[in-house]
Structure 1
Amino acid sequence: MTIQATLFSFVNRWECDENDHLNVQFYFSRFEEADRQFRLLSGLNETLVGARRVRHVRYHSELRTGDLVTVQSSIAFDGPHMLTVVHEMHNSATGTLAATALDGYEPSANSAKTLRQRFKTYQTSMIAEAAPKGIPAGPANQKVTLAGLEAKGAQVVFRGTVLPRDIGVDGKADDRFALSCCTDGVAHVWQRTPMTHGYLTENGFGRVAVEMKLSWATPLKTGDMMLVISGFTSVGARTFSMRHHLFESRTSRLVATLDVVALTMDLATRKAVDLPPEAHQAINKMLID
């Protein structure tokens, strides 16, 4: 059993956001590159296991400008999917686990034994830190409609066009593009709560994601126009959850869904803070689930 070194990288200043840490879209782009390298090393491909159903990311510690980044990848047959690829991202200067990603596949049940044998060299046990915590492991509901979401109170927070620079090696818009659309739109989701831009600025707080799950439904290609419509799905003492839906604008075709668990961070202490009671009440009244 061996775990594969699949990425060696570095946090550039231009990849960091208003919280002065690596923006989530660049975590996803690094996991995407690590996955490409792992596929090459292991021989994993869609012919054997089908298309990836989800990429489930948990953020464990911040990566900031100048940090060294490595990713190690392996296959866990004891993960939440029939075949789970686990990517572990570390700050390689400190050894700290920065983030984990689970790529979920559901090959045919009768191929399990064959796959275990084929990939035994790349198999490791699932690590507890990567296990889903605030978001279910399976793909999001792909039967939602734009009209149905609007009727539940979800709102459009982003509109854009797929440009050539947004296309991956497979000719389709990549994970980083989907994340960038959602991160551009997410401030408008927060603005619907008492935790507005003004509130966050006044208190020295930042918007932070701690867990995400990306489920692709259909592809986007160069020139496609798209939108993001978002709503809240749960709220707790310190965290709340939202769901972003990407639709192709011309046909209102669902493209992808991004589930997010978010919290407010004190930018001085870099610690999570409780949601104000009025935010808890306001979000609870706007749930779309």
Structure 2
Amino acid sequence: MTLQATLFSFVNRWECDENDHLNVQFYFSRFEEADRQFRLTSGLSETLVGARRVRHVRYHEELRTGDLITVHSCIAFDGPHMLTVVHELRNAGTGALAATALDGYEPSANSAKTLRQRFKDFQCAMIAEATPRGIPTGPSGLRATLAGLTAKGAEICYRGTVLPRDIGIDGKADDRYALSCCTDGVAHVWQRTPMNLAYLNENGYGRVAVEMKLTWATPLKTGDTVVVATGFTGVNAKMFTMRHHLFESRTGRLAATLDVVALTMDLSTRAAVDLPAEAHQSISKMLID
């Protein structure tokens, strides 16, 4: 069975960030809508497969103002989860693959045969480009506490409130809201490294994410106040990883984690550049894992 067309969209100027490309929170909002449409078409529901455990996104090519977007979706039983929904987001003007998302579910092992039969018209082979690279596939950081993280060196980079506009059709804060909290705060995380704003501006570089994994732990509702605490989890020659932890701040309840693979991009060539040696050393000393 071919991939199902689940979204037709467009990049608005107001959705682009300081790097002049579509901000990651709006990739997540496109995948969220595509998922709703796929569920409607296929009959997939939490009653059958349980709640989504993770949404794992890889970014393959930039999208700029005015670009056309399509998303196609399917179920890959050969994916990294017992049941994996794959979303393929393309630049409809060029056909280029711009991003992929894997939605991971872990239904009962004895239901596998039944699910394969039930969703036989919506199956496809796993898309190689969507395979996780820099982040493990399963949920992560779900036992973290704010006190424990700060003791390890994580720092708060964002505070905010869940507003009515942040709520999805299920009455809970949606993926875009979680991403917006983290993307609004992440510049303060970079500022802790030698790759601070002055360094980026002097060299004509930008901050870029190439892979992300969102894991919801507990829901957020209108009026909840939130705080994001972030720590570094790894570093190599060109990339480093971090984990954002989104807490409901009144009770300290963990709401979600967002794992990120980040790099520095030359804004003229739009290519990744090596991290300076001092950044590698600095981040290595601040790892929380």
TM-score (norm 1): 1.00
Give the letter for the 1:65 counterpart: T
Give the letter for the 1:22 counterpart: L
Instruction: Please state whether the residue corresponding to 2:19 is helix, strand or coil.
Output: coil
Match of 2:139?
Answer: 139
Pairing 1:218–2:231 present: no
1:140 and 1:81 map into 2 onto residues whose CA distance is 15
Pairing 1:168–2:176 present: no
2:141 and 2:82 map into 1 onto residues whose CA distance is 19
Give the letter for the 1:157 counterpart: C
Instruction: Please state whether the residue corresponding to 2:37 is helix, strand or coil.
Output: helix
Match of 2:232?
Answer: 232
1:171 and 1:236 map into 2 onto residues whose CA distance is 40
Instruction: Please state whether the residue corresponding to 2:22 is helix, strand or coil.
Output: coil
TM-score (norm 2): 1.00
Pairing 1:192–2:154 present: no
2:141 and 2:275 map into 1 onto residues whose CA distance is 28
Q: Per-residue displacement from partner, 1:212-253 (whole Å, max 9, x unpaired)?
A: 000000000000001000000000000000000000001000
Q: Matched residues, percent identical?
A: 81
1:259 and 1:273 map into 2 onto residues whose CA distance is 21
Please give the residue correspondences for 1:248-259 in structure 2 after superposition, counting only pairs within 5 Å: 248-259=248-259
Deviation of the 1:141 alpha carbon: 2.7
Match of 1:260?
Answer: 260
Match of 2:127?
Answer: 127
Pairing 1:60–2:57 present: no
Match of 2:71?
Answer: 71
Q: Per-residue displacement from partner, 1:22-52 (whole Å, max 9, x unpaired)?
A: 0000000000000000000000000000000
Q: Per-residue displacement from partner, 1:57-76 (whole Å, max 9, x unpaired)?
A: 00000000010000000000
Runs of 4+ in 1 over 6 A off after TM superposition: none
1:141 and 1:287 map into 2 onto residues whose CA distance is 14
Match of 2:94?
Answer: 94
Deviation of the 1:3 alpha carbon: 1.2
Give the letter for the 2:229 counterpart: I
1:242 and 1:131 map into 2 onto residues whose CA distance is 19
1:139 and 1:74 map into 2 onto residues whose CA distance is 22
Please give the residue correspondences for 1:6-85 in structure 2 after superposition, counting only pairs within 5 Å: 6-85=6-85
Q: Unaligned stretches of 5+ in structure 2? A: none
Give the letter for the 2:79 counterpart: G
1:141 and 1:201 map into 2 onto residues whose CA distance is 33
Deviation of the 1:144 alpha carbon: 1.0
Match of 2:241?
Answer: 241
1:160 and 1:144 map into 2 onto residues whose CA distance is 20
1:212 and 1:235 map into 2 onto residues whose CA distance is 15
Deviation of the 1:2 alpha carbon: 2.6
Give the letter for the 2:110 counterpart: N
